[in-house]
Structure 1
Amino acid sequence: MSGLRNNSYAKKNDSRTAAFVGHYQLPVFFVLTFMWSWGVFFLIIRPLGWVETRQAQIMFAWGPLIGAAVVTAVSGGSLREWAAQIHPRNIAPRWYFIALITPLVLTDGSRILVWLTGAPVTVADITFLEFLSKFTITLVIAGSLEEFGWRGFAQPRIQERWSALTAAILIGVIWALWHFPLVYGGAGAGYDAGAFVGFLIGLPVFSVAMAWIYNSTKGGLLFVMLFHAMINAPSPLQIANSAPTWANTVGGLGQLVLLLMVPLILFLYYGRNYLAASHPHPPIPGRRP
């Protein structure tokens, strides 16, 4: 009898947990995401001196993936349907091009502007194999896996209640804050303290562009993963050391203008509801019916 009572009590607690997680999916997702990533940083990466190594980025990056998987499973959702978002679903091939080129426009467009003003711009000192290695690592085991959480889980849930634009900006700000230990915990992953301001400006803009791609491809997670991998890949262009001092100022201002133009253009063309002509299908992949 005692075993039956314990089993009944365990099932009751499990059902309560599932109900709680199901009701508060987004807050629980964000809490688990930060707990994993910040916990890994302060309990493993920092003590072992891995702050400036690839381990810092790889292990840290798994937080959103793990948070989304746990919430989906515990709330009774379909992990298979949630993970299946990575399948392209017969989306037009142009979206592969868009996913790969848009990040380059956002990150290197300002350098092209500097070149047009007459200042020297050079090709970065990096081989194609080095570029491809960083891109592939990000796509397969590192930063791109974040998109299972940020876009594949949070974006459709938030935009169901508010607009896609609001969802994207909110996720972008949280995404920037999530990077906090890597920036102020010891210049991790090549970042310095000043990079955090750039995150607070740039990541919400990237998030808006990724929401546009995610919704336009009906929840095509692969396309935003490609976008993310391209962001993390080394920049192919750089302002030459021999360039006049004003070139960096022009580059900085040009970068800011490009970043501000993206959400404005998408908002004016598509409206704020989905930032696209379509939306994920199903509206919230993996959610329990």
Structure 2
Amino acid sequence: MKQIDDQMSQNLIKPDSIMKELIVYFSLVYLLTWLCWAPSFSIEFSHLTQTILLNLGNFMPSIIAAMLIVCSMKKDDVPKMISRVFRIRFSFVWYLFAICLMPVLLGTAYLITYFITGLEFQSLLLPIIIPEIWPLIPLVGYFIAVQGPLGEELGWRGYALPKLFQLFNPFKSSIILGIVWSFWHYPKFLLTGTIQFELAGVYGIMIAIVGYTLYTVLLTLMITLLFVKTNGSVWAVMLFHAISNFSHGLFTILLDTSGAVIMLMLMMLLTFTMVAKNKELYFKQLIVSC
């Protein structure tokens, strides 16, 4: 199995030190993100201020990771991170995985839901794309730059996941990171205009949180497979994340109870299959250099 990074670390792993680094990272991300999001809950701030701070908060996972890497004074960390971000040469199979998996999953979930319940097709993005095909490219660029991937993945996958690999196998690392990632989003269940707020409005906040957490953990297990198979490519993960967000704009079935249940069932089936077929990858401790 291909290991993360070309050069394997031969140094003795210090679990306590790595755990402290992760706790500091996650704590700073939560604190600074939520401070940036806080004005969005108050009418005392202008819409422009709220928007700027909301988007700044969305970038905190990557910003904090970059700051910690620079402040760590470990001369090898910066080039390693840059290498991961620009690691674009990997098997075409994994480009297909990154680009096609979520659109196919969501499209399949919609078709199944349609045949069972007659669910009417609804899309937020299709009316924008259909008139002319050219908006597709800037839309995908928007989802990469603003709607999550660039602001998050340098941190979640570029910084935190390799450190988790030094403490746990990829399966446990994915469960932990999936829960951490979900929890980071929780304030948005109270924030008007977010998909999390819409989910809470349809299902109630507790059911929405449980379903969203399950979805995010399953998604994290999928992303971990992509990350390892592409030798730690943050670019591959960013592409997957962007296409995933884009696909949810094309197929807005999560706001329908039947559609959401079928989507989660498909994700569980696919994730179980991935884990079963890649047991060595998920359950064997990886040797990585962070």
Q: Secondary structure at the match of 2:249?
A: coil
1:86 corresponding residue in structure 2: 85
Q: Give structure 2 stretches of 5+ with no counterpart.
A: 1-15
Match for residue 228 of structure 2 among 203, 215, 219: 215
Matched, 1:203 2:216: yes
| 159-168 or 82-91, which deviates more | 82-91
Conserved 8 A contact 1:210-1:224: yes
Aligned-residue RMSD, C-alpha:
3.1
Distance 2:188 2:278 in 1: 35
| 131-140 or 216-225, which deviates more | 131-140
TM-score by length of 1: 0.75
Conserved 8 A contact 1:21-1:75: no
1:172 corresponding residue in structure 2: 178
Shift of 1:276: 9.6
Match for residue 267 of structure 2 among 248, 259, 264: 259
2:59 corresponding residue in structure 1: 62
- Counterparts of 1:1-289 in structure 2, within 5 Å, are 24-43=20-39, 46=42, 47-50=44-47, 55=52, 58-77=55-74, 78-117=77-116, 119=118, 121-122=120-121, 124=123, 125-128=126-129, 132-145=137-150, 146-184=152-190, 186-192=191-197, 193=200, 194=205, 195-233=208-246, 234-237=248-251, 248=256, 250-271=258-279, 274-275=281-282, 283-284=288-289, 287=290
Distance 1:257 1:80 in 2: 40
Distance 2:98 2:284 in 1: 17
Conserved 8 A contact 1:51-1:187: no
Shift of 1:112: 1.9
Shift of 1:111: 0.4
Distance 2:51 2:104 in 1: 26
Conserved 8 A contact 2:156-2:177: yes
Conserved 8 A contact 2:37-2:50: no
Alpha carbons of structure 1 residues 25 and 167: separation in structure 2 relative to 1, 3 Å: same
Conserved 8 A contact 1:88-1:222: yes
Shift of 1:85: 0.6
For these two proteins, the number of residue pairs brought into alignment is 254
Conserved 8 A contact 1:45-1:56: no
Q: Deviations over 1:4-39 (max 9, x none)?
A: xxxxxxxxxxxxxxxx98772111110111122111
